[in-house]
Amino acid sequence: SLLIECLASIHAQTFREYEVIVVDNGSTDASCDEAQSRFSDTKFLRYAENLGFAEANNRALRVAQGELIALVNNDATLDPKWTRAMVHSLHSRTEAGAAAGRTLQAQHTERIDAVGFTYYSCGSASTWRGSSAQAFANSNHRPFGPNAAAAVYRRRALDAVGHFHAEYFCYHEDTDLAVRLVLWGYPTVYVPDAIAYHLGSHT
């Protein structure tokens, strides 16, 4: 299942100092049962209804213990060096509130799924989806904020600006959070060596 593939990629990370929390948002298949049997060191928060992306992640944030918080969609997988690259970048840039990696389309890996996003004054956002992956291979790129399908946030910044607003349910909750991070002086750093693969809209 998508969840098993996602968790397998997380457990294959070269950076090992982490905890894993899975939020089951009212799933109706057996994927979460299978994951619990295969990944016994993972914490599971299971709910009978779909709380929405925003509230589900907020509940995980409340029990997570790390100073850096990675959010990874269940239809995403991570390169083994993803976490190490993200952590190193945020340790090097102590003013940053979040990190955006180079997320590629899982079925067309030569194309970008998201490299963070830009935010326009009219209120719309763009993730550069469909662009060439090689066009974003260096760290000169400056996103407004990270796409939460595969991103890392600094807990200190989240505690300062507040977590996701649950009324967004899903989509643009990360845009709203990024606006608050920018207003509070927490920029997003771009990490091109942190590569993830995202199917998109699969659950």
Give the contacts of 13 (CB within 8 A, at least 6 positions apart): 78, 80, 81, 82, 83, 84
Closest CA to 186 of 141, 153, 149: 153
SS3 content of the chain, % helix, strand, coil (to 5): 30, 30, 40
pLDDT in tens, 149-168: 999 999 999 999 999 998 88
The model's confidence at residue 170, banded by pLDDT at 50, 70 and 90, is confident
pLDDT in tens, 67-103: 999 999 999 999 999 999 999 999 999 999 999 999 9
